[in-house]
Homo-oligomer: A and B are copies of this chain.
Amino acid sequence: MREWVNNIRRVEPYTPGEQPKMANIIKLNTNENPYPPSPMVEEALRKMDVGFLRKYPDPNSDLLVSAIAEFYGVEKDQVFVGVGSDDVLGMAFLTFFNGSLPVLFPDITYSFYDVWASLYRIPYEQIPLDAEFRICPEDYMKDNGGIVIANPNAPTGTELPLSEIERILGANQKSVVVLDEAYVDFGGTSALPLVEKYENLLVVQTFSKSRSLAGVRVGFAIGHRDLIAALNAVKNSYNSYTMNTPAILLGTAAVKDRAYFEDCCRKVAATRERVKKELSALGFTFGDSVTNFIFAKREGTSAKELFQALRENGIFVRWFNKPRISEYLRITMGTDEEMDRFLRFLKSWLAS
């Protein structure tokens, strides 16, 4: 009996950042934006025609694709959209990495790259960051089946300069290079201008951070039209209707409000620079984050203990129980009021 159990796929369990349901907590653990979506998103929500929801969504997400193309000054056939950048990145692995050489990405980076490689049986090699958690471009100058780099990287928050990215691209004209720019809008430099120069470059971004729409699941890729056509062909071959109508309509509204978007990014970046100063004064060290989080450690302080102390006081940050990074905490930037409460707690805890 129960022989069917033998045919069940075995997987490594994944634990997403906690989504605690208590009131009055400070949630600095999943890199969400502390500010609400644009008022134009609210307007789109209120105006949405409920009768239209009985129909299948537009499988091409034309409204959303057009809005993104217009925002970034590219053609519509250079834009692919998906259910958050996880969906877009997973689709890129499935579509572009069907060779026999290993796909290369850093050892400390977004935790799903090796998961997607395993899922689709793609050979891969995790290349160690240096002791300061920096990517060394030379490490990516060898035969490979593809390259994936998060820039700015997560959970470190630091950026490889665009000139170094271009060196990697220049040395890798035989494989597709995917840049995951989930956090670029808070102060990083996007490689988007390079897509006109390099046909094998795919830039992936998300609405979950800088556009305050994590709950709506919208991500996108921009690249050469042949890359985008390949992504669409693979996606449509097995699931045509992934983006629902609310995601298309709310995402479109969000991307159209450039002023609000830029203002939110500026506010988050200002908070980050202020918190950096305060953390330094308290003895923390960290790379020069250009994102909406800071990845920090403190000599003589156990990250795990601090994580738990914060948690007990209703402040949720992220601690990774993993090699090389277990002495660090990843702290998402909240509102200024939230960060003040966080810093006050830190001061009193360190003094006790």
Contacts and interface: CB of A to CB of B under 8 A. Distances in A.
B230 A8 contact: yes
Interface in A41-90: 41-42, 45-46, 48, 50-59, 83-84, 86-87, 90
A112 B56 contact: no
Nearest to A209: B54
A234 to B, nearest CB: 5
Nearest to A213: B53
B237 A217 contact: no
Interface in A98-136: 98-99, 112, 115-116, 119
Interface stretch (A168-176, A275-283, A321-329, A342-350): A168-176
Interface stretch (A10-18, A182-190, A298-306, A310-318): A10-18
B37 A214 contact: no
Given A45-B50, A52-B215, A56-B208, A6 B237 contact: no
Contacts of A57: 214-215, 217
Contacts of A90: 238-239
Contact of A46 (B46, B55, B99): B46
Nearest to A244: B217
A229 B217 CA distance: 23
A16 B53 contact: no
Contacts of A212: 53-54
Nearest to A99: B7
Interface stretch (A149-157, A158-166, A245-253, A255-263): A245-253
A32 interface: yes
Contact of A95 (B9, B50, B56, B94): B9
Interface of A: 1-9, 11-14, 16-17, 19, 27, 30, 32-37, 41-42, 45-46, 48, 50-59, 83-84, 86-87, 90, 94-99, 112, 115-116, 119, 145-146, 173-176, 199-200, 208, 212-217, 226, 230, 233-234, 236-242, 244-247, 250
Listed from nearest, the 5 A-B pairs whose CB atoms lie closest are A215-B245, A246-B246, A11-B237, A36-B51, A7-B99
Given A55-B215, A56-B208, 15 more contacts: A4-B96, A4-B173, A4-B176, A4-B200, A7-B96, A7-B175, A11-B237, A12-B237, A32-B56, A36-B50, A45-B48, A53-B212, A83-B242, A87-B239, A215-B246
5 contacts: A9-B96, A11-B233, A54-B212, A115-B238, A116-B238
